[in-house]
Amino acid sequence: MVHASTGSGLPPLEGEGRGGTSSGRPADVRGRILDAADQLLARYGYKKMTMDDLAEQARVGRRTIYLHFPGKEEVALATVERRMDRLVAHLEALSAAASLSPGERLRALLVGRVLFLFDAAQELSQSYDEMMTALRPVYMPRRERYMRAEGQVLAEVLAEGVRCGEFAAVDDPAEAGLSLVLATNALMPFSLSREQRADRAAVERRVSRIADLLLNGLRRRDG
Protein backbone atom coordinates (compact mmCIF):
# COMPACT_ATOMS: atom_id res chain seq x y z
CA MET A 1 0.00 0.00 0.00
CA VAL A 2 1.29 3.45 -0.90
CA HIS A 3 1.11 6.02 1.88
CA ALA A 4 -1.00 8.99 0.91
CA SER A 5 1.53 11.52 2.19
CA THR A 6 4.34 10.54 -0.17
CA GLY A 7 3.34 13.19 -2.67
CA SER A 8 1.13 11.16 -4.98
CA GLY A 9 0.93 12.41 -8.54
CA LEU A 10 4.53 13.55 -8.92
CA PRO A 11 5.51 13.48 -12.58
CA PRO A 12 8.32 11.12 -13.55
CA LEU A 13 11.79 12.59 -13.75
CA GLU A 14 13.30 13.15 -17.15
CA GLY A 15 15.01 9.99 -18.30
CA GLU A 16 12.23 7.72 -17.07
CA GLY A 17 11.57 5.29 -19.88
CA ARG A 18 8.64 3.11 -20.76
CA GLY A 19 7.66 0.45 -18.30
CA GLY A 20 9.07 2.40 -15.36
CA THR A 21 12.74 1.92 -16.18
CA SER A 22 15.20 4.78 -16.05
CA SER A 23 17.60 5.76 -18.79
CA GLY A 24 19.75 7.72 -16.30
CA ARG A 25 23.18 6.57 -15.24
CA PRO A 26 22.97 3.61 -12.82
CA ALA A 27 24.96 5.40 -10.11
CA ASP A 28 22.65 8.43 -10.31
CA VAL A 29 19.52 6.29 -10.16
CA ARG A 30 20.89 4.25 -7.26
CA GLY A 31 21.73 7.42 -5.37
CA ARG A 32 18.24 8.78 -5.98
CA ILE A 33 16.71 5.59 -4.63
CA LEU A 34 18.86 5.80 -1.50
CA ASP A 35 18.01 9.48 -1.02
CA ALA A 36 14.34 8.56 -1.21
CA ALA A 37 14.86 5.69 1.23
CA ASP A 38 16.50 8.03 3.75
CA GLN A 39 13.51 10.35 3.53
CA LEU A 40 10.96 7.56 3.90
CA LEU A 41 12.81 5.85 6.74
CA ALA A 42 12.75 9.14 8.63
CA ARG A 43 9.07 9.69 7.80
CA TYR A 44 7.56 6.23 8.26
CA GLY A 45 10.22 3.96 9.71
CA TYR A 46 11.53 0.73 8.28
CA LYS A 47 8.48 -1.46 8.85
CA LYS A 48 5.99 0.91 7.23
CA MET A 49 8.13 1.88 4.24
CA THR A 50 7.01 0.02 1.12
CA MET A 51 8.61 -0.46 -2.27
CA ASP A 52 5.68 1.44 -3.78
CA ASP A 53 6.46 4.38 -1.48
CA LEU A 54 10.08 4.18 -2.52
CA ALA A 55 9.31 4.13 -6.24
CA GLU A 56 7.05 7.15 -5.90
CA GLN A 57 9.46 9.12 -3.72
CA ALA A 58 12.42 8.38 -6.01
CA ARG A 59 10.22 8.96 -9.08
CA VAL A 60 11.26 5.73 -10.74
CA GLY A 61 9.39 2.55 -11.54
CA ARG A 62 9.36 -0.40 -9.14
CA ARG A 63 11.20 -2.43 -11.76
CA THR A 64 14.04 0.09 -11.68
CA ILE A 65 14.42 -0.36 -7.94
CA TYR A 66 14.60 -4.14 -8.32
CA LEU A 67 17.34 -3.74 -10.91
CA HIS A 68 19.48 -2.25 -8.14
CA PHE A 69 18.22 -3.97 -4.98
CA PRO A 70 16.61 -7.39 -4.35
CA GLY A 71 14.27 -5.96 -1.72
CA LYS A 72 13.58 -3.48 1.06
CA GLU A 73 16.15 -4.94 3.45
CA GLU A 74 18.95 -4.43 0.93
CA VAL A 75 17.81 -0.85 0.27
CA ALA A 76 17.91 0.00 3.98
CA LEU A 77 21.26 -1.73 4.43
CA ALA A 78 22.64 0.24 1.49
CA THR A 79 21.66 3.49 3.23
CA VAL A 80 23.70 2.35 6.24
CA GLU A 81 26.67 1.44 4.06
CA ARG A 82 26.52 4.79 2.29
CA ARG A 83 26.49 6.53 5.67
CA MET A 84 29.57 4.58 6.74
CA ASP A 85 31.34 5.46 3.48
CA ARG A 86 30.59 9.11 4.16
CA LEU A 87 31.90 8.73 7.70
CA VAL A 88 35.22 7.37 6.44
CA ALA A 89 35.46 10.25 3.95
CA HIS A 90 34.75 12.67 6.80
CA LEU A 91 37.49 11.09 8.90
CA GLU A 92 39.95 11.23 6.02
CA ALA A 93 39.26 14.95 5.67
CA LEU A 94 39.86 15.47 9.40
CA SER A 95 43.08 13.47 9.28
CA ALA A 96 44.40 15.68 6.47
CA ALA A 97 44.40 18.83 8.63
CA ALA A 98 48.12 19.56 8.33
CA SER A 99 47.92 22.51 10.73
CA LEU A 100 47.13 20.15 13.62
CA SER A 101 49.51 17.83 15.43
CA PRO A 102 48.91 14.06 15.23
CA GLY A 103 47.49 14.18 18.75
CA GLU A 104 45.07 16.96 17.88
CA ARG A 105 43.98 15.15 14.73
CA LEU A 106 43.52 11.87 16.57
CA ARG A 107 41.33 13.61 19.13
CA ALA A 108 39.30 15.23 16.34
CA LEU A 109 38.86 11.80 14.72
CA LEU A 110 37.65 10.11 17.90
CA VAL A 111 35.18 12.87 18.70
CA GLY A 112 34.24 13.35 15.05
CA ARG A 113 33.26 9.73 14.38
CA VAL A 114 30.87 9.68 17.32
CA LEU A 115 29.24 13.01 16.51
CA PHE A 116 28.96 12.24 12.78
CA LEU A 117 26.93 9.10 13.44
CA PHE A 118 25.04 10.77 16.29
CA ASP A 119 23.85 13.48 13.90
CA ALA A 120 23.02 10.91 11.21
CA ALA A 121 20.85 9.00 13.68
CA GLN A 122 18.95 12.19 14.53
CA GLU A 123 17.77 12.40 10.93
CA LEU A 124 16.00 9.06 11.39
CA SER A 125 14.46 10.20 14.68
CA GLN A 126 12.36 7.51 16.34
CA SER A 127 12.78 5.01 13.48
CA TYR A 128 16.49 4.41 14.17
CA ASP A 129 16.00 1.65 16.76
CA GLU A 130 13.40 -0.09 14.64
CA MET A 131 15.59 -0.11 11.54
CA MET A 132 18.76 -1.27 13.28
CA THR A 133 16.87 -4.04 15.07
CA ALA A 134 15.45 -5.26 11.77
CA LEU A 135 18.83 -5.06 10.02
CA ARG A 136 20.93 -6.49 12.85
CA PRO A 137 21.28 -10.04 11.41
CA VAL A 138 22.72 -8.71 8.14
CA TYR A 139 24.44 -5.63 9.59
CA MET A 140 26.53 -7.31 12.29
CA PRO A 141 28.66 -9.46 9.93
CA ARG A 142 29.64 -6.27 8.07
CA ARG A 143 30.28 -4.19 11.17
CA GLU A 144 33.88 -5.40 11.54
CA ARG A 145 34.67 -4.20 8.01
CA TYR A 146 33.19 -0.77 8.73
CA MET A 147 35.18 -0.44 11.96
CA ARG A 148 38.42 -1.53 10.31
CA ALA A 149 37.98 1.11 7.61
CA GLU A 150 37.64 3.74 10.33
CA GLY A 151 40.50 2.24 12.30
CA GLN A 152 42.81 2.46 9.31
CA VAL A 153 42.37 6.23 9.17
CA LEU A 154 43.20 6.48 12.87
CA ALA A 155 46.14 4.09 12.43
CA GLU A 156 47.77 6.34 9.84
CA VAL A 157 47.62 9.35 12.17
CA LEU A 158 48.82 7.22 15.07
CA ALA A 159 51.80 5.98 13.04
CA GLU A 160 52.66 9.56 12.12
CA GLY A 161 52.58 10.51 15.79
CA VAL A 162 54.95 7.65 16.61
CA ARG A 163 57.36 8.74 13.86
CA CYS A 164 57.47 12.33 15.06
CA GLY A 165 57.89 11.30 18.70
CA GLU A 166 54.53 12.47 20.04
CA PHE A 167 53.27 8.94 20.75
CA ALA A 168 55.00 5.94 22.24
CA ALA A 169 55.75 3.07 19.85
CA VAL A 170 52.93 0.62 19.13
CA ASP A 171 53.43 -2.91 17.81
CA ASP A 172 50.60 -2.83 15.28
CA PRO A 173 49.12 0.57 14.33
CA ALA A 174 46.21 -1.07 12.47
CA GLU A 175 45.12 -3.03 15.53
CA ALA A 176 45.72 0.00 17.74
CA GLY A 177 43.51 2.07 15.43
CA LEU A 178 40.76 -0.53 15.63
CA SER A 179 41.09 -0.56 19.42
CA LEU A 180 40.56 3.21 19.49
CA VAL A 181 37.39 2.77 17.44
CA LEU A 182 36.14 0.08 19.82
CA ALA A 183 36.93 2.28 22.83
CA THR A 184 34.43 4.90 21.66
CA ASN A 185 31.72 2.51 20.44
CA ALA A 186 29.85 2.78 23.74
CA LEU A 187 28.75 6.23 22.53
CA MET A 188 27.60 5.11 19.09
CA PRO A 189 23.87 5.66 18.42
CA PHE A 190 23.11 1.92 18.51
CA SER A 191 24.51 1.81 22.08
CA LEU A 192 22.54 4.81 23.38
CA SER A 193 18.99 5.04 24.65
CA ARG A 194 16.53 7.43 23.03
CA GLU A 195 16.94 9.73 26.02
CA GLN A 196 20.72 9.78 25.61
CA ARG A 197 20.37 10.46 21.89
CA ALA A 198 18.39 13.57 22.78
CA ASP A 199 21.42 15.19 24.48
CA ARG A 200 24.18 15.85 21.94
CA ALA A 201 26.16 18.07 24.30
CA ALA A 202 26.38 15.30 26.90
CA VAL A 203 27.57 12.79 24.29
CA GLU A 204 30.19 15.25 23.06
CA ARG A 205 31.47 15.82 26.60
CA ARG A 206 31.75 12.11 27.23
CA VAL A 207 33.54 11.25 24.01
CA SER A 208 35.89 14.19 24.56
CA ARG A 209 36.82 12.82 27.98
CA ILE A 210 37.39 9.35 26.54
CA ALA A 211 39.54 10.81 23.76
CA ASP A 212 41.66 12.72 26.28
CA LEU A 213 42.18 9.59 28.38
CA LEU A 214 43.17 7.55 25.34
CA LEU A 215 45.59 10.19 24.11
CA ASN A 216 47.15 10.47 27.54
CA GLY A 217 47.88 6.75 27.42
CA LEU A 218 49.40 6.98 23.93
CA ARG A 219 51.76 9.90 24.52
CA ARG A 220 55.43 9.17 24.96
CA ARG A 221 56.89 9.70 28.40
CA ASP A 222 60.62 10.38 28.38
CA GLY A 223 62.60 9.18 31.33
Q: Confirm if 30 and 64 have CB atoms less than 8 A apart.
A: no
CB atoms within 10 A of CB 7: 11
pLDDT at 96 over 50: yes
**Residues above pLDDT 90, as percent of the chain:** 71
> Alpha-carbon distance 88 to 95, whole Å?
10
DSSP-based three-state secondary structure for 142: helix
The pLDDT tens digits for 185-194 are: 999 988 888 8
Q: So what's the pLDDT on residue 1?
A: 46
Please give the domain boundaries of the chain with CATH numbers for all domains: 4-68 (1.10.10.60), 73-218 (1.10.357.10)
pLDDT at 5 over 90: no
pLDDT at 133 over 80: yes
> Alpha-carbon distance 58 to 153, whole Å?
34
The residues, any chain, with a CB within 8 Å of residue 59's CB and separated by 6 or more, are: 10, 11, 12, 13, 16, 32
pTM of the prediction? 0.84
Sign of CA dihedral 160, 165, 166, 171: positive
The mean pLDDT value of the chain amounts to 88
The pLDDT tens digits for 32-91 are: 999 999 999 999 999 999 999 999 999 999 999 999 999 999 999 999 999 999 999 999
pLDDT at 149 over 90: yes
Confidence of residue 97 (pLDDT cuts 50, 70, 90): very high
Beta strands per DSSP E along the chain: none
Q: Confirm if 56 and 82 have CB atoms less than 8 A apart.
A: no
